[in-house]
Amino acid sequence: MGSNQTWITEVILLGFQVDPKLEVFLFAFFLLFYSLTVMGNGLILGLIWLDPRLHTPMYFFLSNLAIVDMSYASSIVPKMLANLIMETKTISFAPCLLQTFLYLALAVTECMSLVVMSYDRYVAICHPLHSTVIMSWRICTILAATCWIFSFLLALVHITLILRLPFCGPQKINHFFCQIMSVFRLACANSRLNQIVLFAGSVFVLVGPLCLVLVSYMHILLAILRIQSKEGRRKAFSTCSSHLCVVGLFFGSAIVMYLAPKSSHSQEQRKILSLFYSLFNPMLNPLIYSLRNSEVKGALRRFLGKKSSV
């Protein structure tokens, strides 16, 4: 390595590169969305915890998804908000890599959680008589734990490969957080292996699980069509429609982000995609589940009724 190369100790996050006056507006706008994300997912989590009628596998996995969403947004948004109002938009290199690790791990956890939730819907609708045995609390706990462990191990593989690279600049990341592809650009060595592993991992984590979700819902659709009563079909559709909306938002934005050709999106478009992926999706998930789910709305009414009677 040449003598003019120095190791990176901190990184400048260029963020959105807008007029300073607009940064104050963006700070208020993103703070509102982040607050809604935390409050919405916290409300879903609290309702499921407090209402015994929601102590079922479906809502166990929904509460797990709420924890993932809050953690996911919290790994990125606070630093982004701080950089919008601070003159120095730096982050030390070690916290930068930690941010990359958490972002990857939690994104994969959300992906795997959505697959497990589709399997739970498949069991509940296609095998209703055996659902309590197939989806026992022990199995639910194992499935949820497997999602977390697998995801963090996969993220650890990417971080281990990143640590093998020499980093000597430039010290600027043209993003609002330490997104993994932006981190690759800081390396003063060929990162082709990292990019290949990232692409292979993205295919494995996105395409494979999406296929499993689609297969599950093909079976679910056939089972729903065989239900004789109109009320039964309506209830089955309502429990699945919320999950399908979340799946469409998550996998759609993720596939565009990680599997689309690099030349198809500018860096600014990639920032917007990342923002949608890391902030708007976690905010929309509790809204989708609460607005389209009669049981969640019923739990909220019962909770509000108790509060008003106190």
CA angle 223, 226, 232 (to 5 degrees): 85
Q: Residues with Cβ < 8 Å from 139, sequence gap 6 or more? A: none
Q: What is the pLDDT of residue 3?
A: 40
Dist CA 119 CA 135 (whole Å):
10
pLDDT for the residue numbered 4: 41
Nearest to 30 by CA among 171, 174, 172, 177: 177
CA dihedral sign, ordered 98, 152, 202, 164: positive
Per-position pLDDT tens, the chain of length 310? 444 444 678 888 988 877 878 888 989 999 999 999 999 999 989 988 988 888 999 899 999 999 999 999 999 999 999 988 888 888 998 899 999 999 999 999 999 999 999 999 899 888 888 888 999 999 999 999 999 999 999 999 999 999 988 887 668 888 889 989 889 988 888 889 999 999 899 888 888 888 999 999 898 888 888 877 777 777 777 777 778 888 888 888 887 777 666 655 567 777 887 888 788 888 888 888 776 677 777 777 787 776 655 5
12 DSSP β-pair partners: 90, 172
C-alpha 204/C-alpha 218 separation (Å) is 21
Domain membership of residue 3 (yes or no) is no
Q: What pLDDT does residue 125 have? A: 87
Number of C-beta neighbours around residue 256 at 10 A: 16
Nearest to 47 by CA among 294, 286, 303, 305: 303
Domain that holds residue 165: 10-298
CB 190 within 8 A of CB 144: no
Please report, for residues 18, 81, 90, 267, 269, the alpha-carbon distance to residue 84 in angstroms, rounded to integers and kept in the order given.
10, 5, 11, 18, 19
pTM equals: 0.88
> What's 39's domain CATH number?
1.20.1070.10
Contact indicator for 109, 68 with CB cutoff of 8 Å: yes
Distances 242 to 74, 235, 249, 262 between C-alpha atoms, Å: 24, 12, 11, 32
The three-state secondary structure class of 83 is helix
- Structural domain contains residue 305: no
Block residue for tokens 């999950």: 243
Helix (H) or strand (E) holding 98: helix 93-126
What is the number of structural domains in the chain? 1
In-domain check, residue 306: no
Considering the domain boundaries, does residue 271 fall inside one? yes
Residue 174 maps to a domain: yes
| Alpha-carbon span 7 to 177, nearest angstrom | 20
Q: Which two tokens stand for residue 95?
A: 């916290």
Q: Does any domain span residue 52? A: yes
pLDDT of residue 261: 65
Is residue 2 situated within a structural domain? no
Phi-psi region of 15 (alpha: psi -120 to 50; beta: other; left: phi over 0): left
Would you say residue 5 lies in a domain? no
Beta bridge partner(s), residue 167:
187
Strand partners, 106: none
Q: Say how far apart CA 158 and CA 165 lie, in whole Å.
A: 11
Q: What per-residue confidence (pLDDT) applies to 2? A: 42
